[in-house]
Amino acid sequence: MTDHPTLARRDLLKIGGVTAFGVSMPGVLTACAGDANPASEAGNELRVSQAVDATTLDPHKHGDLPSMHVLINIFDTLTVRDTNDKLVGGLATSWKPIGDKAWRFTLRKGVTFHNGEPFDAEAVKFSIERLVDPKTQSPIVELRYVTHVKVVDEYTADLVTSEPDPILPQKVSLFGGVIIPPKYVKEKGDAAFAEKPVGTGPFVFERWKRDSEVSMKANAKYWKGKPAVDRLVIKIMPDPSSSLAALQSGQLDMVSGLTPDAADQLGDAPDLKIVTSPGIRTFFVSLDTLSGGPLAKKEVRQALNHALDVPTLIKSVLNGAAQRTPTLIPRQAFGFDPAIEAFTHDLAKAKSLLTQAGYPNGFSTKLSASSLDKDIAQAISGQLEKAGVKAEVSLLDAATFKSRLVSENKAALGPMYFSGNTGWTMDAESNLQSFIRHDRRQSRWDDKEADRLVDVEEQTIDSGDRKVAFRKLQELMKDEAPFLYLWQTSNVYARNNRLQWKMNANGTLAFADAKLGKA
């Protein structure tokens, strides 16, 4: 998955080498501060905003968080991350390996889809095999080793793989584990299913007004019990100033996906709270090591990492709401090694390495980014220029950037691009799977030892052996430096005092357990 945060502007001006651009968001909050608060009139309806609409309501045909924020309330998965980030049962109550190439899942009994269709092993078989079928063209690649599902009995299913897959239970906890109703999908077809999704989840789909809102009502027959909230409405509001104004005036209960800069606008508003919780989204700059030129040399890539003052970027651009990552792996993920140290900021060393590589006067290149990430791309460019590397920023609209990111042409985004990734399985495999092995869709690095280590960590059952492979892989990634390593961001949202809810590290808006008090 790829994430595109909108980042602060005003503090970027404090960073050396950054040219002036833009202005801060307008002060809409003040204008609405004195409006009547309609929260008390909203009753037991939870109203939440997010900046971007879902791309589709077919859970197998997307790989983005905005879509999942909606769908995780309509559908269930085989396993779940609870609010303490522990893997627990969802539609599966237990699981165990069967030999080296299969996992057996025991399924929950007495569960039905919203249309009354029963949930059973046939539903698991239909869902998983649909997801991995090339005809579905699912962007969800975590289940790449699953070949088929064997129905053992009505409530037991084996997921069979071509290679050992040590973390398959983690992979069916979110994107990879959504279960859909076979009869309904076969009768209605894919298009109708995407327009009116039917799941087993805590809320029943009501309507979707594109680029406006998605509304759902509580599932009275939910297997965990009817949600405490009667209705859930997710409103699409791209402008954080407008969202925060709506929160302050009582028209929303929560604004999700805030940047620290936007959250600051709320100030000391009474009865409202900014919540910052640990997140697992990591951000980096990908370097094209395959197309020749300066970036083909290891010394140049190391120099660029030394040229960046990442702690200053975090402090100034993200108001401190992030942690530096030595490579691409967040601290919460299995495989993160605290012994791996991040590159130090050392301009003298950066210039020395450039000279050693044959570029004593630096060189010119391009840095591509989504237009949503304009500010951070310009900040990075400004810092690289101090080492003599002029990285012209090339901005693309979000849709174009995404299409080039996943295209077969690995040079489609030029020599350098800024991006992010959410490893939602909480295992480092997810953070690395698309970027390291030479034959993966977003890899721009070709290293036989890296390929070998990826194979070990992806296909070895023993957790100790996997941990060793991850350590060696991170050491190699730092030495070869095919990326500029940046940070993992925190989850930031604003809420009113009547909402009682906790977000887990993957940052999804799962509201099955949410409660609303008095306004």
Q: Of 92, 109, 110, 76, whose CA–CA distance to 180 is shortest?
A: 76
Residue type, 209: K
Greater confidence (519 vs 1) lies with 519
The neighbouring-strand residues paired with 102 are 160
Q: Is 384 helix (H, G, I), strand (E, B) or coil?
A: helix
> What pLDDT was estimated at residue 29?
44
Express each pLDDT in 108-164 by its tens digit.
999 999 999 999 999 999 999 999 999 999 989 999 999 999 999 999 999 999 999
Asked if pLDDT for residue 447 goes beyond 70, the answer is yes
Greater confidence (316 vs 426) lies with 426
Asked if pLDDT for residue 34 goes beyond 50, the answer is no
Express each pLDDT in 268-318 by its tens digit.
778 899 998 889 999 999 999 999 999 999 999 999 999 999 999 998 888
DSSP line for 87-119? EEESSEEEEEE-SSSEEEEEEPSS-B-TTSPBP
Q: Rounded to the nearest 5°, which phi and psi values hold at 368?
A: -95, 150
Q: How many helices (H) and strands (E) does the chain have?
A: 16, 19
Express each pLDDT in 174-214 by its tens digit.
999 999 999 999 999 999 999 999 999 999 999 999 999 99
Tokens of 289: 């090591």
H runs (alpha helix) in 308-422: 310-317, 347-356, 374-385, 398-405
Express each pLDDT in 322-337 by its tens digit.
999 999 999 999 999 9
Tokens of 370: 């989504």
Asked if pLDDT for residue 217 goes beyond 80, the answer is yes
The secondary element (H helix, E strand) that includes residue 515 is: strand 515-516
H runs (alpha helix) in 330-446: 347-356, 374-385, 398-405, 428-432
Contact, 252 vs 243, CB < 8 A?
yes
Burial class (CB in 10 A: 0-12, 13-18, 19+), 378: buried
Express each pLDDT in 57-86 by its tens digit.
999 998 888 999 999 999 999 999 988 889
Pairing between β-strand 231-236 and β-strand 213-218 as defined by DSSP bridges: antiparallel
HEC string for 35-60: CCCHHHHCCCEEEEEECCCCCCCCCC
pTM for the full predicted model? 0.85
Kindly indicate the confidence band of residue 39, based on its pLDDT and cuts at 50, 70 and 90.
low
Express each pLDDT in 377-397 by its tens digit.
999 999 999 999 999 999 999
Tokens of 433: 């799977």
